[in-house]
Structure 1
């Protein structure tokens, strides 16, 4: 009985509302205003979350929270200070969700562009996933039969990494998983976990958009482009041919189709 009582108390402390978090930086009022105007027009409330500013280098206080060597191994190039700052900023959101015992949250970067369908999707409760739902994504691929219809949208389970974290929703369980995966930070913000095995979803058509690369405000593109030039093409380990998971992954990739954006 005491254990059951503790469980009930723990459940009742979890908030059922999913707040809309707008991830931004101090001093970026002009950059985030178009998004805030959209949210206001849609009748949606938001909460500003101030991230880590890496535009002038990563502040020394965050060095203990990252692993530059591990990031270099994963990316096969140096991870930039701006990329670390971005990943740390999203990690801050995972921390807030877990610390405040929120059931989940809708996360928007401050340069997100919402489609007119965004409030319909949210008010219908389609964002209340058990894991992670990418409202914005590109280069996403999925198996045609691993999908579910939600209203006039389709949720696809990605077979590989889908780029972009401009807009997504995540549950408390997923926030905890992402927090573990980013302790320490050794990967870019999109994404430190395997989206297929984490049972994430790609929403199609997308209800959040982003300016094309090179257009609109960006704190990452310049440094990232320079870092990509240092990409190291290493030899792949032949031992992978003796692992069942390699062939499972290969089959998934061959059967996957691009997700409609």
Structure 2
């Protein structure tokens, strides 16, 4: 869909609703909520990992040594299904030439101001990833006010969850380049933005909230593998490496995270928020 104009050119955008059950009532309800706000959503068939490990495409690969070094276990088939659903939705938007893509999971409910804020976010090149909700409360810096009572904030750490977010062209490129190596859940890839320079933002109060429902991602679905002495040695070193990278990023970008403070739980309606 073509909407706003950026530098004299129309901005091409898309809204994908990721689902394993396109005919379900909650999917139709979400599409209806989008229409009520003047938006058009497109169903994106998710990758189902509940019945076994999904097959990868040539541009995707498992990085099992990283998985064991960082998390001491491999991804489960359900986690891989969730991961590939988001990665392939992003790739579709990229290959279609969209300037931005909004991705929603099928179990979210939109707040009335969703469309207005989406329009206001526009084609700002700085907003590589904007999350519409979070599952964790993190210290953040208020960037600017948005439509109605909303504001744009910059979290210092990952806020967890992929229920609803928007990527611009630069954000898509970064996620596809870094995320095509699968070794941790997709929301962790977004949480670890400092590893690959993804500029990450959040809208408060949250623009969407998650319906209480059983998760399709069982963690872990298989017993954890017994780790070798080498893996036990590498894990704390890899963890230290991640910590140093994060602190270095925050030091270099300290002005962008100045005066960060923790919000209270009133910023969102999702029961899992804490």
TM value normalised by structure 2: 0.73
Q: Which runs of 5+ in 2 are unaligned?
A: 1-5, 268-274
| CA displacement 1:157-214 (0-9 Å, x = unmatched) | 1211110110000001111110011222222111315335422101101001013xxx
Give secondary structure in 1 for the equivalent of 2:38: coil
Out of 134-143 and 89-98, give the one that drifted further: 134-143
Q: How far does the alpha carbon of each residue in 1:66-96 deviate from its partner, in whole angstroms, 9 at most, with x for none? A: 3334223322333211111111111102211
Q: What residue is the counterpart of 2:203 in the other structure?
A: 203
Counterpart pick for 2:168 among 145, 166, 171: 171
Alignment of 1:132-151 (within 5 A): 132-144=129-141, 147-151=143-147
Are residues 247 and 93 of structure 1, via their aligned partners in 2, closer, same or farther at CA, if it must alter by over 3 Å? closer
Determine the structure 2 residue equivalent to 1:17: 12
**1:7 corresponds to:** none
Question: Residues 55-94 of structure 1 correspond to what in structure 2 (within 5 A)?
Answer: 55-61=50-56, 65-94=61-90
Does 2:261 align with 1:257?
A: yes
RMSD between superposed Cα atoms in Å: 3.6
- How far, CA to CA, are the matches of 1:187 and 1:239 in structure 2? 13
Secondary structure of the residue that 1:157 maps to in structure 2? Answer: strand
Task: Write the distance in 1 (CA, Å) between the matches of 2:167 and 2:155.
Answer: 15
Map of 2:188 onto structure 1: 191
What is the alpha-carbon distance in structure 1 between the residues aligned to residue 210 and residue 163 of structure 2? Answer: 7
- Cα 1:205–1:71 change in 2 (3 A) is same
Residue 120 in structure 1 maps to residue 119 in structure 2: no
Cα gap change, 1:246/1:58 in structure 2, threshold over 3 Å: closer, same or farther? closer
Unpaired segments ≥5 residues, structure 1:
1-10
Contact 1:15 1:103 in 2 (8 A): no
Q: Structure 1 residues 225 and 121 mapped into 2: Cα distance closer, same or farther (>3 Å)?
A: same
Aligned CA distance change for structure 1 residues 54 and 127 (closer, same or farther; 3 Å) = farther
8 Å CA contact 2:63, 2:181 repeated in 1? yes
Count of residues paired in the alignment? 242
Aligned counterpart, 1:6 = none
Instruction: Quote the residue 1:34 is aligned against.
Output: 29
SS in 2 for 1:94: helix
Q: TM-score, structure 1 length as denominator?
A: 0.77
* Structure 1 runs, 4 residues or longer, greater than 6 Å off: 227-233, 249-253
